[in-house]
């Protein structure tokens, strides 16, 4: 899998221990504020994605945006939306796909491996332990109530993150139409994503191309 191309260079020179120096001119094609001038190393990538994995209760979308855009500033809001969108239409979990692309951007193949390990390793260890406990206590009503509350909180975090991104990105008419169509199909009609994506992705590309030609 190849990561999307940005204005900043992918790989650094050997004297920087194969880390990437993000240039001040990397304020990119989106017109947004550039990410800070600093070296993005393997240890930082691992810490960031390990944090995402640990905070991602019920889904990592909210935690991923906080860590990638707000805390470490690896990507701008528009770059994050692009990476997440590409990850969504590819097979597999979208945040794992995003981890591969972000890791490749800053550290090549090694970065991709480190990011995926960071986001997967600790949650898997915790999941094995919790699964063992759940099998023993699943019949207790309080346990089921707690899981229901956690799921509701996770849904609220995802919705809140989506609204925050929408305010910052200020989607245009075409993007707004696609958002409404996705909500209508998935939330309203309960269509599976595997049916919605093959239809709406080409439609979104065609509408965007036609709108930009005006």
Give the chain's mean pLDDT: 76
> Is pLDDT above 70 for 68?
yes
| Token couple for 108 | 């090549």
Q: pLDDT-derived band of residue 187, with 50, 70 and 90 as boundaries?
A: confident
Q: How many CB atoms lie within 10 A of CB 40?
A: 25
Q: What is each CA distance from 147 to 134, 136, 155, 159, 161, in whole angstroms?
A: 11, 15, 12, 19, 21
pLDDT higher at 27 or 147: 147
Q: pLDDT-derived band of residue 59, with 50, 70 and 90 as boundaries?
A: low
Report field, pTM of the whole predicted structure over 0.75 = no
Query: Whole-angstrom Cα distance, residue 22 to residue 14?
Result: 15
> Is pLDDT above 70 for 80?
yes
């Amino acid at each position: 899998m190849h990561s999307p191309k940005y204005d900043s260079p992918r790989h650094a020179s050997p004297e920087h221990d194969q880390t990437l120096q993000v240039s001040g001119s990397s304020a990119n094609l989106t017109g947004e504020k550039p990410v800070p001038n600093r070296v993005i190393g393997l240890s930082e990538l691992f810490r960031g994605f390990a944090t995402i994995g640990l905070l991602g209760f019920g889904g990592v979308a909210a935690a991923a945006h906080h860590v990638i855009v707000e805390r470490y500033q690896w990507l701008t809001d528009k770059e994050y939306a692009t990476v997440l969108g590409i990850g969504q239409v590819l097979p597999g979990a979208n945040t794992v796909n995003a981890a591969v692309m972000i890791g490749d951007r800053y550290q090549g193949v090694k970065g991709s491996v480190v990011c995926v390990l960071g986001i997967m390793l600790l949650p898997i260890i915790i999941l094995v332990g919790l699964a063992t406990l759940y099998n023993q206590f699943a019949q207790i009503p309080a346990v089921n109530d707690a899981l229901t509350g956690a799921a509701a909180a996770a849904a609220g975090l995802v919705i809140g993150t989506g609204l925050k991104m929408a305010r910052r990105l200020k989607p245009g008419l075409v993007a707004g139409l696609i958002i409404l169509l996705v909500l209508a199909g998935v939330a309203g009609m309960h269509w599976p994503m595997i049916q919605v994506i093959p239809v709406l992705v080409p439609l979104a590309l065609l509408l965007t191309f036609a709108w930009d030609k005006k």
